[in-house]
Amino acid sequence: MSDTFFSGAPHWTWFIIPYFFIGGLAGGAYFLAALLDWFGRPDDRPVVRTGYDVAAVGAILSGLLLTIDLGQPLRFWHMLFQSANFPAIMFKGWSPISFGAWGILLFGLFAVLSALGARAEEGRLQMPALRAVGGMVRGGVAKLVAGIGGLIGLFIAGYTGILLSVTNRPIWADSPWLGALFVASGVSTGAATLILLSPRRGATERSLGWLSSFDARALVVELIVLIAFIVSLGSVNRVWVSVWGLLLLVGVVWFGILAPLRMHARRQPLASAAKLVLVGGFLLRLATMLASEGIDRYRVAVGL
């Protein structure tokens, strides 16, 4: 039996699961938007602007979900500053939850700046202060912000998996592949979100076609990493003999990866495939979180 079965469940459930999903999606969307900002064509701008909006809203929602989940929400700032020695910085480079807190803050900052820049570009900012900030994020500054923010976005998509690996819980700490899996899933769900939302901002078929072909490749990467994850679990895989295993197999592998891949290959409607990718991405977090959360050390010890 893995030694991880004797640890206690942290009760990371109904705020953290949506956070893992939204954070991954927002990080992935920002990364793709930044990539198109740097290397795309002018007609990719609607996708770029949508990606920045998704990232900004996602970052704000992520911060809210993380704060609400705390046992003492008003002490959220203790993760950033030393409470007894303010304003000294609180940072542990070896603790994913510590560098993740800073990551979310920086991600939010860059995502909001990019989103304001994009909105200023469209002339959609009414408030003078916001218009002034948005007006500064243009040209080279906008690219620099997007470049750094896009890399932070990739980090946000994946650090949650590293956070789970750096515990002593069953499944999470029994494999080093969760971070890689969440990166692939985050980028894939980010692409799916852009496929669904960017047509409203005037995305061209050419942009959507690139997103679709990239999403198919990301899904293949996700599937390969998911297989590596399952193989690495070894005897711990017996925990999947449960409703969570069924959800992983049917919800994630079949509906979330294989079905959209088939739809991409057959050039079926992009929106349908994108919706399935989003459902699969959410179920991936749900299954990996709750399969572990459900294991109680007391019941393991008494053989129940």
Partner 1 sequence: MPEPMGFFTDTTVCIGCKACEVACKEWNQLPARNGGVGELSGDSYDNTRKLDGIHWRHVRFIEQFKGPYDGRWLMMSDVCKHCVQAGCLEVCPTGAIIRTEFDTVVIQSDVCNGCRACIAACPFGVIDINPVSGTAQKCTLCYDRLKVGLEPACSKACPTDSIQFGAIAELRTRAHKRVDQLKAQGVKAELYGADPQGALGGLNSFYLLVDEPEVYGLPRHPQLPSRHLAKSSTFSAASAAVLGVLALVGLRKRRMDEMGGGGGGGGAGGQN
Interaction residues for partner 1, span 12-31 (CB under 8 A): 12, 31
Least Å distance between CB 200 and partner 1? 8
Q: What is the DSSP string of 219-268?
A: HHHHHHHHHHHHHHHGGGGGGGSSHHHHIIIIIIIIIIIIHHHHHHHTT-
- Please pick, from the candidates 87, 94, 129, 139, the single residue that binds partner 1 as defined by CB under 8 A: 94
Closest CA to 57 of 108, 120, 101: 108
Answer yes or no: are the C-beta atoms of 293 and 257 closer than 8 Å.
Answer: no
The structure tokens listed for 161 are: 């998996």
Least Å distance between CB 179 and partner 1? 3
What binding mask, one character per residue, do residues 166-195 give for partner 1 by CB under 8 A, x or -?
Answer: xxxx--xx--xxxxxxxxx--x-------x
Give the Cβ contact number of residue 176 at 10 Å. Answer: 14
Q: Under DSSP, is residue 101 helix (H, G, I), strand (E, B) or coil?
A: helix
Least Å distance between CB 114 and partner 1? 18
Site for partner 1 in 256-295 (CB under 8 A): 269-271
Q: Is 227 in the site for partner 1 (CB under 8 A)?
A: no
- Please pick, from the candidates 60, 61, 64, 97, the single residue that binds partner 1 as defined by CB under 8 A: 97
Q: Is 84 in the site for partner 1 (CB under 8 A)?
A: yes
Least Å distance between CB 269 and partner 1? 5
From residue 57, alpha-carbon distances to 7, 61, 184 in Å are 35, 6, 21
Span interacting with partner 1, options 69-77, 117-125, 255-263, 279-287, rule CB under 8 A:
69-77
